[in-house]
Chain A
C-alpha cells in the first residue's frame, strides 16, 4: 500500500498552548479516514496544521506527504503538491469572482506541473462539469467568492473547488456542520465521485451522520489532542450511540 500521509508523533499548538499532544497516523492511497472527537479535542487544529495555517506552531514530530516533508512547505506549495483543505468556515472574498479565483488557482497548479494554462473554452467546460457534480448553478461563477452564499452553498463550493484541483489528499474540516440533509447528500455524493485508488480523504467530523454517506475505512477518535482509539466504520456508530464519555474514561484508565 502506498502511504499518502504519514503523521508521526505530531505535537502542535497555538499561542503557547499545546493542543495536539502526539498524533500518529498513516493514510494510504485509496483510503478514507475519519477523525471524530468532541469539541476542543484538536480536530480543527490538525486540519489547520496540515494546511499550513501560520498561527499554529509545530512543537515536535513530522508529517510526510507523498515523498516530501509537509511541514517545510508553504500553504500554496502544499496545495500545488496535492493537499486540499475544505474549510469549516469558507471565507467570503468580495470583488474576486469564483471563476477568476479558480482560473488563477488551476493555472498555478498546472504551472507547478510544468503545464500551460488551459484555454478559456476548456476551462469553462471543466468548471461546468465539476459544478454539476455538486449541483451548483453556473451563475455562481461570476459572483464574488462565497459572498452572500448560504452555508450549504459555501460547502458545495468547497467541494467544487476540490473537484477542480483534484487533490491527492483532501482534508474535510467539519464539512457537514450546518448542512441540512439534502445539502449533506449532495456534498457527500460529490466527494464520493472523486474517490479513487490514487487519492485519499481525511474527514473530520463531530457527528457520525456524514459517515453514512462517505463510508470510512478507518475511524480515529481524537480526545484531548491524542488519538485514543482507532477502528473500522462501526466505531463511528458506537460513538453516535454512546457519546464520547465512555471512550474518554476508557483511555484515561488505559493511561
Chain B
C-alpha cells in the first residue's frame, strides 16, 4: 500500500505538463522495475518501505530556489575554497552559486545547449537499466547539473555541489542529477555534500553519471552528514577510459538512511580507479554501500578500501563486487572492507564478491570486523587518558586513514573535525 501510494505520487508528478519526455522515459524504467524490496538480492538488508512515508511530497517546480537566512547558513558551514553550486530541493539557487566555464545547470532539455542535451541523453542511455532508484532519481530531478571540463583544462578550484534539502515545511521527495564529462587530459575535483534543514522526513534518490576520457582525472567526494529523518540514496556510474584516473571518496558521517551505489567501469587500458569509503554511524543510523568495479579491458588497476565504525544500534552494509572480464588480463584489483563494532547492538553485513574470468590477474579481497583492542585501551588508560577519550582516539585512528586519502586539504580538515565531533572527544579536535 505504502509502495503503491509512493509510485502514485511520482506518476502523477511526471504526468504533469512541465515534465519532459526524457524524464518520463526514466520514470517508465522505474515503473517497469518497480520499487526494490528486501526480496531483491541487492536490497536484502536495505528496506526502503519504512522510509516511504505518505507525508512525502514532490516540491512544486520553480525556476530558481528562494534563499533565506537558514539556507544561507547551511551552505556556509563548509567554507571550502571552491566554485559553489547550491541546489535547494534540487533547484539551483543562483544567488549562492558561482558557476565556472563549462558548468551549467539545466532546467530543461529544451533550454539546454545541444551539447549538454546530448550528454544528458548519452548518460541516460549508458546507465544500466536495472536500477529502479537511479531511474527514479533521474525522473524526479528538476534540474540537471552538467559539468563539462574541456580538453587539456582543469578547473581553477574544486567544484562544490552543495545540496540543501529544505524539510521545514513538509517532507520533500526530491533529487539531484549530475552529468560530468571530463575530456582528454582534463581534470576535475568534485565535492558533493548534502544537508537537510528541518526535521521532517526526506527521500532523495540522486544520480551521477561521470565519464573520464583518456588521460583525464576526476575525483568525487560525497559527504552525507544528515538528519535522522533523512533518506539519501546515491547512484553513481563512472566510465573510465584509457589511462584515466577516477577516485571516489564516500563519507557517511550521519543520516537515518543512506544507500550508495557506485558502479565503475574501466573501459580503456591502464585506467585506474580508487574507491575510498568511511561510514561512522551511531544510534539507529543505517548506511549501505554497494560498489561494482568492472574490469572490462586489460592492464587496469582498482584499489578499494571501505571502513565502517558502528555504534549504538546502527547497521552497516557493504557489498563490493569486482568483475574481471575474460579479456582483462594483467588486471590488478584489490578490495578491503574493515568494520569496527563499538556496541553489541551494532550490525554489519559485509559481502565481498569477486568474479574473475581472466587467468593472468592479481586480485585480492578481504573483510574484517572487530572491536577495539582491549590491550590498546588499557595502554592508553594506563597513561592517564580517560576511557571515553581512549575509545575516541583508537576509533579515530581506525577511521582517519580514509580521510587522509582525500587530496583536498580543506576537505580533510573539515572531515577530521566532524569525525572528532562525532566521536565526542574534545581532545581530538584540539
A residues at B contact (CB < 8 Å): 51-54, 74-76, 78-80, 84-85, 87, 90-91, 93-96, 101, 104-105, 107-109, 112, 144, 161, 165
Contact = CB atoms under 8 A, between A and B. Distances in A.
A51 B375 CA distance: 13
25 contacts: A52-B382, A54-B378, A74-B387, A75-B381, A76-B381, A76-B382, A76-B387, A76-B390, A78-B382, A79-B381, A79-B382, A84-B382, A91-B373, A91-B375, A91-B376, A93-B394, A104-B393, A104-B427, A105-B380, A105-B385, A108-B385, A108-B389, A112-B384, A144-B397, A161-B383
Contacts of A53: 378
B384 A80 contact: yes
Interface of B: 373, 375-376, 378-387, 389-390, 393-394, 396-398, 400-401, 427
A52 B169 CA distance: 54
A103 B297 CA distance: 50
A115 B171 CA distance: 50
B276 to A, nearest CB: 15
B375 A96 contact: no
Contact of A91 (B379, B384, B385, B386): B379
Nearest to A108: B384
Given A74-B387, A91-B375, A104-B389, A51 B382 contact: yes
Contacts of A74: 381, 387
Given A93-B397, A96-B393, A79 B384 contact: yes
B383 A90 contact: no
Contacts of B398: 95
Contacts of B385: 76, 104-105, 108
B387 A96 contact: no
B308 to A, nearest CB: 16
A76 B379 contact: no
A172 to B, nearest CB: 13
Contacts of A96: 393-394, 397
B75 to A, nearest CB: 32
Contacts of A108: 384-386, 389
A109 B396 contact: no
Nearest to A109: B384
Given A104-B389, A104-B393, A104-B427, A93 B379 contact: yes
Given A74-B387, A79-B384, A109-B384, A95 B379 contact: no
Contacts of B427: 104, 107
Nearest to A89: B375
Given A94-B397, A95-B401, A101 B383 contact: yes
A105 B384 contact: yes
A30 B390 CA distance: 32
A222 B393 CA distance: 37
A101 B380 contact: yes
Contacts of B394: 93, 96
Contact of B379 (A84, A90, A107, A144): A90
Nearest to A75: B381
Contacts of B373: 91
A54 B381 CA distance: 11
Contact of A93 (B376, B381, B400, B401): B376
Given A94-B397, A105-B384, A112-B384, 20 more contacts: A51-B382, A52-B381, A74-B381, A75-B378, A76-B386, A76-B390, A79-B382, A85-B382, A91-B379, A93-B376, A93-B380, A95-B396, A96-B393, A104-B385, A104-B393, A105-B380, A108-B386, A108-B389, A109-B384, A161-B383
Nearest to A83: B382
- Residue with the highest number of chain A CB atoms closer than 10 Å, among B378, B380, B383: B383
Contacts of B400: 95
B379 A87 contact: yes
A165 B383 contact: yes
Contacts of A91: 373, 375-376, 378-379
Contacts of B390: 76
A57 to B, nearest CB: 15
A124 to B, nearest CB: 15
Q: Residue among B373, B387, B396, B397 with the most chain A CB within 10 A?
A: B397
A4 B380 CA distance: 23
Nearest to B373: A91
A85 B382 CA distance: 7
Nearest to B390: A76
B338 to A, nearest CB: 12
